[in-house]
Structure 1
Amino acid sequence: MPGLAQAAAFNVDHATQLWLRTLSGPAKARSDAYFEGGEWLGLWGALISVALCWFLLRIRLLPAIRDIMHRRGWRPWLGMLACAVVFIIADTVLSLPWSIYEGYWREKQYGLMNQSLGAWLGDQAIALALNVVLGSLLLLVIYAVIRRFPKRWWLIGTGVMGAAITFGVLITPVFIVPLFNTATELPNGPVRERVVAMAKANGVPAEHIYLIDSSRQSDRISANVSGIGPTIRISLNDNLLNKTSVAETAAVMGHELGHYVLGHVWRTIIVLTLLMGLLLWLASRIAPALIRYGGEGWSVRALSDPASLPVLAGVLSVLSLLATPVTNTLIRVDESEADAFGLDAAREPDGFAAAAMKLSTYRKIEPGPLEELLFFDHPSGKTRVTMAMQWKKDHVPNAVEVVPPPLPEPKTPAPQP
């Protein structure tokens, strides 16, 4: 247990600094290097996506598929489906070296990956199968809308995307998560008792609380209240259960319950749908101009042509990158609200601070204001610890500072970003 330091008056800034000092030396260097290097991944990922789309346009892969389907007398929707499947597979295969670097090698380098390369590739194969099935069906519907409503397709497409996002949230806990991890009932004990008590006190269904075996993939701690309607589930991963105290776990789960009580899932669906509508509207202006520019060199006839998929995908990749500060801010606002809710629900400010510091082993602990605004989709560790200490001062009579022990130092020095 952290030591206690008596204080005549609880000082929020000093109490915060005591917690921040638990991450220092090589551990802080590793955290900063990991996060700062990650700030560039979105940019490089978008550039690689655009380059691959340009390559597919230059080799005229989809026009060849389109023409073969046409010569064989296949129905237009089957030709569209074939182009979508080929595009998804080609894009995934061509981007595999980057995916291995970003999703496996870099995570392994920073000590965050527990899988072998073979196991990781197995998960990627499952993800590819899901993308082929669900992604191609979504593209089939989007292109049907483009053909039927060439002027206002983006407006109807926004509704389609909203339905797709909602469907994804609905099915993920029950049908998607089990493809990658095993979920079992959280065993009876102090953690389950605390979670059930908080859930019942806040009107959250708690008949089942699931433990996810995420440690087979990474050492990250995590929890969520996922799904909507009949698929709502309270889940925490085994890293959270095994690497945190009961007070820390309760603080994290109070935060996750806040997302449910505050209606963040529905708000996120609505906001992301509206944002997607804006991106589709911009794409409806930009993509046709690019197709006219490409001309015969690409063999793409119009946006309604299934061979235009690389154009639309490339445009949306760039627009999504530009929208990143907006999406980060929207998510960060929800996370901050859930933090405040979780502090009230769990009443564990020091547990909350301890959990925030453990998360900061791979999230930069003290970013500058602009850096946090642009690149953080969660409040920074310093912001969260400060909030917890302010809550403690306001709600705990005769509050005392804690002197927590340092977080474990990494076994190896921080890699160069």
Structure 2
Amino acid sequence: MTNVIPMKPATLILFLLTCISFQAQTVPDKATNAPSVIASPTSPAPTTAYTLPPEKLAQAKALYTLRVRLLIAGTVWNFLLLLGILYSGLAARFRDWAEAVSRWRFVQAVTAVPLLLLTMTALQLPLSIYQHRVSLQYGLSVQGWGSWINDLLKGEAVVLAAMIPLLWLLLTLIRWSPRRWWFYAWLISLPLMVLVIFLVPLVLDPMFNDFQPLQASQPQLVEALEKVVQRGGLDIPRKRMYEMDASKKVTTLNAYVTGLGASKRVVVWDTTIQKMSQPETLFVFGHEMGHYVLNHIYKGLLLAAVLSFFCFYLFYRLAGWMLRRFQTRWQLRGLDDWAALSMLFLLFVALEFVGQPLASAYSRHLEHQADIYGLEVTHGINPDSQEAAARAFQTLGEQSLSYPTPGAWMVFWYYDHPPIADRVKFAHEYDPWSKGEHPEFVK
């Protein structure tokens, strides 16, 4: 779980941009001037369990409670604002204005889609502003309001650039084939998913953050990382290892695998390099290498392709039912009506909410596999690979004010990574070597 405000319906397409990441279940923590990972920091006391000092524990508990409330409020608000747009007749007005501009459907899309999406953004803005204010208040962000607004505007521009042609295409398919549009939309979504994931690190990510080859900024670290790569029997070129300048905006510790094929790469945030010891950083890299080796992106794509087939069909059936039930009340002419976009977004929000536990559970499974791989691939390289992993999780949790005992329902519904306390515990318990057992992934 990385956001307190539920995903906006406008991100129907941008959800494809999700990449597997090594991060806590909370927003970032206050930055400190820590030594480089290449330095030799004082060895901390061994970890036995994930714990926080009393002051940080109180902050983490307060933040967790606040985030739960914001999450509930954001979910309810998304439903209410879309229902309000429909029941007030605003959706029908947007359609009428678009049709008054031109008789050409694509020109109408250029009018109707921004009207709806920008209205939704404006209505969601108070919650978004409050969320960023909380991040600043708890020392979880260092991004100024000017930079934050700039990112917001760039994000909206990306959403509009994607949604205008895609929603025009969707409604065109509905008009062309009222009974089979869901199947054609599914077919089109398959290459689209691949294309988007391929382009994210090349086009989208550089719009919001600066990247440089890790070899240029941390040559000594790259040499250590290559030992981990060799231990895993891989060949990850140095040109596919990057450092992201995250400290300009956030203070969280993070690393992730992104891209596909020629664009696939491992990215480590500069905050991670600054605040973790070298053994911890090697484990983090090993975790990300696990996503790389275990083909989690490809497996995720395959699963998405299968599940989206059933989701598109369910979407088709439920959209038809909603149209028959509310067509007159919401002044809709049909599913290919621009006014019906609000109804389709409402349905998407509902399906996203219901499907969230499945997505979260699958993500937690992949992250657990990557944790196992990270422990195995650094065994024999880190002096104490179990302690290095546990210390990495401890550092990650402290920096992110991750609450040690989140509610079971929150973990089940929203957590896309196992809770930090569980990961620390597992790091200490996983030791197939001392038991004479074979490691699961790195033999």
TM-score normalised by L of structure 2: 0.80
1:194 aligns with 2:224: yes
Q: CA deviation at 1:314?
A: 0.9
Number of the residue aligned with 1:34: 63
The one-letter amino acid of 2:267's match is S
Stretch moving more, 245-254 or 379-388: 379-388
Q: 1:327 to 1:204 in 2, by over 3 A?
A: farther
- 8 A contact 1:157–1:277 mirrored in 2: no
Q: Determine whether 1:136 maps to 2:164.
A: yes
- Shift of the 354–193 alpha-carbon distance from structure 1 to 2, 3 Å rule, reads same
Residue in structure 2 matching 1:232, options 232, 257, 264: 264
In 2 relative to 1, CA 343–78 (structure 1 residues): closer, same or farther, beyond 3 Å?
same
Task: Describe the shift of the 1:47–1:262 C-alpha distance in structure 2 as closer, same or farther (beyond 3 A).
Answer: same
1:236-385 mapped onto 2 (5 Å cutoff): 236-347=268-379, 348-361=385-398, 362-367=401-406, 371-385=410-424
Distance 1:396-1:114 versus aligned 2 partners, 3 A rule: farther
- Alignment partner of 1:113 out of 128, 141, 145: 141
- Corresponding residue SS for 1:323: helix
1:95 counterpart = 2:124: yes
Aligned AA (2:335) = L
The one-letter code of the counterpart of 2:422 is T
Check whether the contact 1:43–1:321 (CA below 8 A) recurs between aligned residues: no
Shift of 1:239: 0.5
Any idea what the Cα deviations from partners look like across 1:181-239, whole Å, max 9, x if unmatched? 11112224432112233234442432322111111111100111210011112211110
Q: Is the 8 A contact 2:258 2:265 kept in 1?
A: yes
Identity %, equivalent residues: 25
How many residue pairs match? The answer is 383
Distance of 2:154 and 2:361 partners within structure 1: 31
Report the CA distance shift for 1:243/1:115 in structure 2 as closer, same or farther (over 3 A).
same
Distance in 2, matches of 1:277 and 1:364, equals 37
Counterpart for residue 51 of structure 1? 80
CA contact (8 A) 1:214 1:238 kept: yes
TM-aligned CA deviation for residue 261 of structure 1: 0.7
Pairing partner for 1:83 from 87, 104, 112: 112
Contact 1:328 1:377 in 2 (8 A): yes
**1:44 and 1:371, CA in 2 relative to 1: closer, same or farther beyond 3 A?**
closer
Question: Shift of the alpha carbon at 1:166?
Answer: 2.3
- Aligned to 1:341, the other structure's residue is in SS state helix
2:226 counterpart letter in structure 1: V
User: How far off is 1:142 after superposition?
Assistant: 1.9
Secondary structure (helix, strand or coil) at the match of 2:266 reads: strand
Question: What's 1:205 paired with?
Answer: 236
| Shift in alpha-carbon separation, 1:265–1:384, aligned structure 2, 3 A | same
Amino acid at match of 1:48: W
Q: Any conservation in 2 of the 1:343–1:352 contact (CA below 8 Å)? A: yes
Aligned match of 1:162: 190
Please identify, of 342-351 and 59-68, the stretch whose mean Cα deviation from structure 2 is larger: 59-68
Of stretches 169-178 and 41-50 in structure 1, the one that deviates more from structure 2 is 41-50
- Cα distance in 2, alignment partners of residues 378 and 206 from structure 1: 28
Q: Distance in 2 between matches of 1:53 and 1:161?
A: 25
- Flag structure 2 segments of 5+ consecutive residues without an equivalent: 1-41, 380-384, 436-443
Partner secondary structure for residue 238 of structure 2: coil
Distance 1:318 1:243, change over 3 A: same
Q: Which runs of 5+ in 1 are unaligned?
A: 5-14, 398-417
RMSD over equivalenced CA pairs, Å: 2.4
Aligned residue in 1 for 2:39: none
Deviation at 1:83, TM superposition (A): 1.6
Q: CA deviation at 1:58?
A: 3.5
Contact 2:332 2:340 in 1 (8 A): yes
Shift of 1:342: 0.8
Q: State the distance in 2 between where 1:96 and 1:202 align.
A: 48
Q: Secondary structure at the match of 1:324?
A: helix
Which 10-residue stretch deviates more, 108-117 or 361-370? 361-370
